[in-house]
Amino acid sequence: MTSTDPYLTSRLQGFGTTIFTEMSALARRHDAVNLGQGFPDFDPPSALVQAAEAAMAAGHNQYAPGRGVPSLRQAIADHDRRNYALDFDPDTEVIVTTGATEAMFASVQALVEAGDEVVVFEPVYDVYPAAIAMVGATVVGVPLRPVEEAGARVWRFDPDDLEAAVTERTRAILLNSPHNPTGTVFSTGGLQAIADVATRHDLLVVTDEVYEHLVYDDERHTPIATLPGMRERTVRISSAGKTFSVTGWKVGWACAPAPVAAAIEAAKQWITFTSGTPFQHAIAEALSWGESYTAPLAAEYQARRDVLIDGLDDVGLGRTSSTSTYFVTADVRTLGFADDVDFCQRLPAEVGVAAIPCSVFHASPEDGRGWVRFAFCKSESLLAEGLERLRTGLPRMARSAP
Ligand code: PMP
Ligand code: GLN
Whether the model clears a pTM of 0.85, i.e. scores above it, the answer is: yes
> Would you give the DSSP letter of residue 135?
T
Ligand 2 pocket mutation, candidates 18, 19, 20, criterion most atoms within 8 A of CB: 20
Q: How far apart are CA 286 and CA 244, in angstroms?
A: 8
Ligand 2 center to residue 355 CA distance, Å? 12
Look at residue 251 in the predicted model and tell me its pLDDT.
Answer: 98
Size of the chain in residues:
402
Can you tell me the distance from the alpha carbon of 209 to that of 207, in angstroms, rounded to the nearest whole number? 6
Q: What per-residue confidence (pLDDT) applies to 143?
A: 97
The atom number, within ligand 1, closest to the CA of 101 reads: 16
64 C-alpha to ligand 1 centroid (Å): 22
Spacing, Cα 168 to ligand 2 middle (Å): 33
- Contact between residue 283 and residue 249 where contact means Cβ atoms under 8 Å apart: yes
Q: Which residues of the chain have pLDDT under 70?
A: 1-4, 401-402
Q: Could you write out the DSSP letters of every residue in 231-271?
A: GGGEEEEEEHHHHTT-TTT-EEEEE--HHHHHHHHHHHHHH
Which atom belonging to ligand 2 lies closest to the Cα atom of 24? Answer: 8
Cα of 187 vs centre of ligand 1, distance in Å, is: 21
* Integer Cα distance of 317 and 272 in angstroms: 43
Check: CB of residue 178 under 8 Å from CB of residue 324.
Answer: yes
Q: What's the Cα-to-Cα distance from 189 to each of 185, 192, 224, 341, rounded to whole Å? A: 11, 5, 11, 33
Give the pLDDT of residue 1: 44
Ligand 2: list residues with CB < 6 Å.
Answer: 18, 20, 37-38, 180
Regarding the beta carbon of 101 and ligand 1, being less than 6 Å apart is answered: yes
Query: DSSP string covering 147-202, please?
Result: EEETTEEEEE--HHHHHHH--TTEEEEEEESSPTTT-PPPPHHHHHHHHHHHHHTT
CA–CA separation, 122 and 210 (whole Å): 17
Ligand with smallest separation from the Cα of 18: 2
CA pair distance 212, 178, nearest whole angstrom: 6
